[in-house]
Structure 1
C-alpha cells in the first residue's frame, strides 16, 4: 500500500507471537508507514496447550484479517454439554444458533497459529528475544533490552506477551497477579484412544465435580482434547503454584478425579506418560487504561485483562485488540496521541464489562448455595453450571468490524 504524503513512518515492536501478536502484525501490514516486528522469546515457534474455541466473534476478526479460509481444521461445537462427572446426569445442554455464517469449532492451537503465520513474512519475526526491560526515552521512543544483550528502539511497543506480561510489569509496576486456586492440566491424544468409552465424549462437554471439572472435546484431524481443572484454597496452596506448561506425572492429575465416573477416570488413565502439561491459573485486577508512557506502549490480549481464560475466547479477544489497534493507527495517520486513546475508548469498556459479568456470576452462585445449610455435592455441582439469564452474544457474537464503525462514527 502506498504511503500518503505526510504519513510518518512508525516503528512498532510487538512482544509475543501468540494469536494477539500475530494478528496485530498481520493487521498492521495494511497500515501505511508502519514497520512492525515481532519479538518472541522462544527459539522455535510452537504453541503450548491443546485446543481453543473459534466462535462467531473470532471468525469475524479472522475474516477481517483475511485468514478465515486458512483455518480449515476443527470440530463443530454446535452442541455443548454440562454433565455431573460423578453421576452422569446431564445438567445443561446448549445448542448454538445455526444461522451463523461459519460453524463454531474447537480446533488445535497450532492450527490457528499456522493460519496466521501463513500470511506473515518470516523476516518480520525475531526469535530468541526474551524481553528483560523497557526504558522510556520520551520523544525518542522506547528502548527494549533482551536477554541476549541486544537492544532496539521503537516508536510503539505492543505488549502481546500474555498474562505474565513483561511489558505490563515494566509500565505498570504495581500490577499484581494472584493465583486463583485453580490448576489446569491439558493434553491432546488421538480420538481412537478413547472413543470406545462413552459416545458423549465425542461431543464437546464439561464433566463437573464440586471443585473440579474435566473438559472433553474433539479438535479435528483425529485428535481429542482434555482440559482438567481442580481448585484448592489459594491462601494455602498459592506459594508453590508457578507452573506454566510444565510436565506433570499422570498420578498427580488422576488423584484429583477419583470420585468421577469410571469412564472419565479411564480416559485420564489412557493419557500416555509424560504428555500432561500443568498450568497454574492467575488473574489480576482490571486496568483503567491499556496504554502507557504517553501513548508509546499498549497492551493486547491476556496482558491487558488477566482473567485466566474465564470466557474461553481469549484468542479472539487478543486478535480483536490487534485489529482495532491497526485501524486506530490507520485512521489517525499514525498519530499515537490520537490512535491509542481511541483504542482505549473501544476496548477498555469491553473488558470492564467482562470483569463485572464474572463478579455478578460469582454472586449468583453464592446466593444459590446460601439456600442450603450444608449443600450436597450434587447441589454444589449444579450451582457451578447455573446459566446467566442475559444474552452472551455481546462476547460470542461480537462483530468487531461493526463496533469499530459505530465507535468511529461517533468520534467523527
Structure 2
C-alpha cells in the first residue's frame, strides 16, 4: 500500500462472513470494496444459527447486533433419543456476566438481514459466480465470472464457503472428504407442535447411535404470536457417493427424513411428521485438513469455512467468519497507518487467525480420541451416551464461545510495540 491511496478489494461470497467483511472494509477510506455474490439476490440457506458471546462481540463492532433476535438457549436438555430420558439439563457455559444477552438460536435470515442493512448501497454485485482466478505477476488478481466478465483486484477475500474455489486455486492439493454426516433442516411455525410440549418447551438434543435430532426456538417470542421453531435431523452414517456433488439445501422427502428417526422416541417421530412435503432441506457435510496458512500470493485472504473446513464442528462458523473479516480490516488499517505493504497486513491476519483455527483442530482431535476411548470402555449405549454428553457439554470451549475479538486485536497491538 506504500505510495497508494486506493486499494481495490474483491470479496467473493455474500454469506455472513462476506457481508461482515464488506462492512468492516468499507469503513476504511483507502479501500474500494466490491462484493461478488453468485446468487441473483440475497439468499441464506439453512435454518437456525447459534449466537453466543463471541458473536455479540463482533456484531457490536460491526454495528449490527441490534438487528438480531432469536430464541433463548439458556436451558438446554440432553436426552436419550430412544427412551426420551433426560440425561442432563444445563445452562450454556457462555451464558455469564461476559454478556447478558447470553446464547440464542436465531433464524439465519435475521443475521443476514442485520448485516445487509449495514452494507453500503451498490457495494454488492449479484449473479456473479466466480469460475477462475489468476495471479497476475507484478499486479493484482484476475477474476473471471460465469457471465464472461472479468475484473482485476489488488486484494481478494475468499468468503466462498467450504467448497471455496478461491481455496482450491490457492491450495490445489488440499482435498475435502464427505464426513458421512448429513443434516436435514427445517423451520416450522411452533403452533404445529402445540400438541408436543415436551418438544417445544426447551432447546434439546435427542441423541441416538447413528444420529441425533436438535430442537430449538429461533424467534423471540415477545415479537410474534406464532414464533418459528427449528428441527434438525442429523444422520451420521450416510453412504458416500463417488463423484458426489455439493448437496447444500436441496429438497429432501418426508419419507427420507422419517426413516432416519424410525427407531426414536415417538415424540420425536411425531415432531418430524408435522413437516410438510417439500419443506426439508438436505445438507451433506464435508471437511478437510487444516491449512498451514490462510493467505496466498501475498494478495489473497481466506475467511470463514474457506479458511478452516471444519464442517460446522462448533456451530459458530458464521461468527468465525465475521471475526476474520473484522481482523483483516484492522490489519489493513494498521499497515496503512504504518506505511507497510498489503502483504504485511495479510501476514498479521494469518498470524492472528491461523493459530486460532489450529487450536480448534487440536480440540477436535482430542475429543475424537476421548470418544473412541469412551466407546471401547462403555458396556452399553446409555453409558457411552452419558460419557459423550459430559464431554460435549464440559469440554473447554471458552476460547471459542467467549472469544472477544476486539481484545484479541488490542493484545496484538500491545505485543507489536
Class of the TM-score when normalised by the shorter of the 2 chains: over 0.9
- Structure 1 partner of 2:343: 337
Task: Tell me the secondary structure at the aligned position of residue 263 of structure 2.
Answer: coil
Question: What does residue range 53-92 of structure 1 map to in structure 2 within 5 Å?
Answer: 53-71=50-68, 73-92=69-88
Question: What does residue range 90-239 of structure 1 map to in structure 2 within 5 Å?
Answer: 90-96=86-92, 97-99=95-97, 100-220=99-219, 221=224, 222-232=227-237
Distance 1:131 1:25 in 2: 17
Structure 1 contact 289–344 (Cα < 8 Å) conserved: yes
- Structure 2 partner of 1:262: 266
Alpha-carbon shift at residue 239 of structure 1 (Å): 5.2
Deviates more, 1:388-397 or 1:361-370: 388-397
Distance 1:341 1:5 in 2: 16
Task: Tell me the secondary structure at the aligned position of residue 359 of structure 1.
Answer: helix
Structure 1 contact 58–316 (Cα < 8 Å) conserved: yes
Structure 2 contact 2–341 (Cα < 8 Å) conserved: no
Residue-by-residue CA offset, 1:380-405 (whole Å, 9 max, x unaligned): 43343232655321110100000111
- Structure 2 partner of 1:304: 307
- CA gap of 1:402–1:139, structure 2 versus 1, over 3 A, is same
- CA gap of 1:269–1:233, structure 2 versus 1, over 3 A, is closer
2:313 aligned with 1:314: no
Structure 2 contact 374–384 (Cα < 8 Å) conserved: no
Deviates more, 1:109-118 or 1:362-371: 362-371
Structure 2 contact 177–287 (Cα < 8 Å) conserved: yes
- Structure 1 partner of 2:390: 386
Task: Tell me the secondary structure at the aligned position of residue 249 of structure 2.
Answer: strand
- CA gap of 1:182–1:390, structure 2 versus 1, over 3 A, is closer
Superposed CA RMSD in Å reads: 1.8
Residue-by-residue CA offset, 1:38-90 (whole Å, 9 max, x unaligned): 0000011111100101100000000011111122x211111122111111111
Structure 1 contact 9–34 (Cα < 8 Å) conserved: yes
- CA gap of 1:402–1:7, structure 2 versus 1, over 3 A, is farther
Show structure 2 runs of 5+ residues with no match.
none
- Structure 2 partner of 1:50: 47
Structure 1 contact 15–158 (Cα < 8 Å) conserved: yes
2:28 aligned with 1:31: yes
Show structure 1 runs of 5+ residues with no match.
none
Question: What does residue range 228-377 of structure 1 map to in structure 2 within 5 Å?
Answer: 228-232=233-237, 240=244, 242-293=246-297, 295-333=298-336, 335-372=341-378, 375-377=379-381
- CA gap of 1:121–1:30, structure 2 versus 1, over 3 A, is closer
